[in-house]
Structures are given as structure tokens and as C-alpha cells.
Amino acid sequence: MASAPSRPAQPKGATGCLVLADGTVVWGKGFGAVGDAVGEVCFNTAMTGYQEVMTDPSYDSQIVTFTFPHIGNVGANEEDVESRGLGALGCIVREEVTPHSSFRARDEFVQWMAGHGKIGLSGVDTRALTRRIRLNGAPNAVIAHSPSGEFDIDALLAKAQDWSGLEGLDLVPNVSREAAEDWKGGHWQLGFGYVEGTSDRPHVVAIDYGAKNNIFRNLVKAGAKVTVVPARTSFDDIMALKPDGVFLSNGPGDPAATGQYAVPVIKALLDADMPIFGICLGHQMLALAAGAKTTKMHQGHRGANHPVQRVGEGWGETSGLVEITSMNHGFAVDADTLPDTLEQTHVSLFDGSNCGIAVKGKNAFGVQYHPEASPGPQDSFYLFEKFVGGLG
């Protein structure tokens, strides 16, 4: 039996720590909210958009390690928020957060983190932590911040060890909206903010499993009228809205767990020949509804620099084209389980994992990555135009 790692003495001035379930303790300076939170530690390789990352509901119950060392230098503002205070529990950064230097900032990142109940830890060797995750997988841990520097490490360790982890966990109820909403906001423009959309057709009903706001904005920009509904909305209630198409959003947790109530609805939509577009968790549950399976990944994909290649039939001259994409997922569709009714349309060039599917004979497709580019490149905006443009 492997021995527990030795526990380093608390350095002078340390006001924050990360306690991993195997007993490892990482010390640093705490910032943001005071207290502690338990979750899975992952890493994100994006160089920009830390506020969008921190408010992405797909990060529920996760602690984000940023590989880019300078986080916080553009401050915080309300325009870059992707959800209503949801998202990651906290973050781990290399350098101490400095005052902002952006004309768009309305608050310092440290104060913004505190106001949104998120715990930060700076002064950490994020390269070493990222390497650990790559080798051993994403660990369960507790992040803690105490301005006095007083910590009960044994209690924090027990909390990390007692947490179940993400596998088998349905987190969508934590992040989905409770009532239907007509979405109006369009794309962002410098000097104008978010311009309100005006289209009445086609009508897209978007199921909110923990969606990022910029997804809805891109649907509006592509010409759709968007109605957002809660995750547990029934097939009959969706059809009563008379949609021309249905969108399945991103979200946190294990898709197989959320699929217990979501997959029957998606199956009914497929049987009704309803056009469907899924992103991330929505993509995974579309695959489950079509007969495929999902699996927990070793470390996951999170960042704004992930190369994805178009594969399979139907791409014409663009077959083989590579898109640089934004990703945030710890589960994936198992390509080996795709039934004959599904075609693989995209693959990751990092590890060959599935990144896109299409249902044969139907206008239904999904992608594992985030084409809304918030944060990230804009290579995949065409997917919104492909979906909305195919609704008539």
C-alpha cells in the first residue's frame, strides 16, 4: 500500500491552501471569498477570457488551474459574465493578482471573486500541478482561504476524501434556470454592448442544462428567435412552443446521470424528426439518445486552443479542415460505441477523441467543443449558421 505524501510545513504568510484527497497540501496566498470548497481540480490552457471561464456553468463543482500565469490583469466587468453567478468554485494561479490595466474593467478580479463567492489561490507552481493532473488524472480536493492563516488540514482532507467526485453526478439541477425565458440579447459590439435581436423566425427552443449566454447570442445573430427552457421541460411542453428546431446546451456533471431524464425527451424529439443541435453536454446526451455511450476522461479538455478536424462524409472540399476550438469537458462520447445510425463528423487532433456526430437521415448533430467563442477563436461560428439556416 502506497504511503501518504509527506505534509509540508505551512510557509510564513500563507493564507490559502489546496488539500488533495491523497493528502498532498499545496500552500499559497488566498484571495477572493473566504472559506473552503470541495471539487475536482482541472486545468485550463486559455490565455484570455478568465472571467468567461469562471462563470461557465460547466465548471460547477470544479476548481480551475490556469496555466497562463497572469490572471486578473484585465480586471472584471459585467459584460464578460457567462451566467448568473454560476461556474467554477475557485481558481489557482501562478502570479499574485495585480491591479487591472483594461479600459473595460469595472472591478478588480480579487473583489469580483469575493463578491461571487469564489475562492482563489495564488503563488502556486501551476506547471507542476498541471503535470500532476496530466499524469494522474483530475483529483478531488478542497481549496481554502483564511486571512488569518489558520487551517484545520485534517478536516479539509476528510472533506476531500469524502466527496464522491463527478462520475455518476447530475449537477444540472444546480445550474439550469427554473422558468422559460425569451432570449433577446444579440452579439457584442465595442461601444454598444449586446445589441438586441429582432428576428421572429425561425424559432429555436434551447434546453438549458447549464448554458453559456454567448451560445444564445450566437443563435440570435444567426437569425433565430430563441426561447430558453429549464432542463426538465417535457417533450409535450417543448412541442407546445412550436419550435422549428431544438438546441441542447452545455452543462456540468456526468451526462449519463443527467440523461436519466433528458435522454427520453431527446429520443422523442428525434422520433418527431425535430432538427437538433447539441453542444458539449448536449452533444453527449444526443449521442446517448441515439444509442452511444459516454466515458469519464483521464484529464479532460479545457482551453481555447484545441485543434479539431472535420472527418466523415458530407464535408465536400472542406473535409479534413482543422478548426481551433474552445473546449471544457471531462466526459466524452466513446467513439467505439457509435451505432450505425450515427456518423462521426469531428475528432480531436490532441488525442483522437470524438468531437462531433450527426444522426444519419435526420437534421440532428452535435459537437463536443464550444463554437460560441467565449472565450476562444471564432473558427466554428458556422455551426450556428448551419443549424439556423437549415430550419427554413
| Residue 10 domain-assigned (yes or no) | no
Distance of CA 347 to the CA centre of its chain: 18
Residues 56 and 155 in one domain: yes
pTM: 0.96
Rounded to whole angstroms, what are the CA distances from 131 to 72, 125, 144?
Answer: 23, 10, 22
Give the contacts of 104 (CB within 8 A, at least 6 positions apart).
74, 75, 77, 79
| Residue 1 domain-assigned (yes or no) | no
| Residue 358 domain-assigned (yes or no) | yes
Considering 162, 182, 198, which residue would you say is the last residue of a domain? 162
Instruction: Characterize the bridge pairing of strands 16-20 and 25-32.
Output: antiparallel
Rounded to whole angstroms, what are the CA distances from 133 to 37, 121, 207, 299?
Answer: 19, 17, 32, 6
With H, G, I as helix, E, B as strand and everything else as coil, classify residue 63: strand
Considering 162, 195, 224, which residue would you say is the last residue of a domain? 162
Residues 304 and 232 in one domain: yes
* CATH at residue 222: 3.40.50.880
Residues 181 and 82 in one domain: no
What's at 11, amino acid-wise? P
Low-confidence ranges of the chain (pLDDT < 70): 1-4, 6
- Whether omega for the bond prior to residue 139 falls within 30 degrees of 0, making it cis, is no
Q: Are 345 and 310 in contact (CB under 8 A)?
A: yes
Rounded to whole angstroms, what are the CA distances from 217 to 9, 210, 241, 282, 384?
Answer: 49, 15, 20, 17, 10
- Other Cβ atoms less than 10 A from the Cβ of 96: the count is 12
Q: Residue 266 belongs to what domain range?
A: 172-389
Residues 151 and 215 in one domain: no
Residue 299: HSE in the Cβ half-sphere, 13 Å Cα cutoff: 18
* Per-residue pLDDT, 53: 97
Catalytic residues: 280, 370, 372
Locate the DSSP E strands across 209-249. Answer: 225-230, 245-248
Residues 125 and 203 in one domain: no
Residues 184 and 281 in one domain: yes
Sign for the CA dihedral angle at 364, 368, 371, 372 comes to: positive
| Residue 6 domain-assigned (yes or no) | no
With H, G, I as helix, E, B as strand and everything else as coil, classify residue 141: strand
* Per-residue pLDDT, 1: 43
Grid coordinates in use for 109? 478580479
Q: Are 365 and 342 in contact (CB under 8 A)?
A: no
| Residue 24 domain-assigned (yes or no) | yes
What is the total count of domains within the chain? 2
Considering 128, 162, 196, which residue would you say is the last residue of a domain? 162
Phi and psi at 324, nearest 5°, equal -90, 125
* Per-residue pLDDT, 3: 57
Residues 264 and 193 in one domain: yes
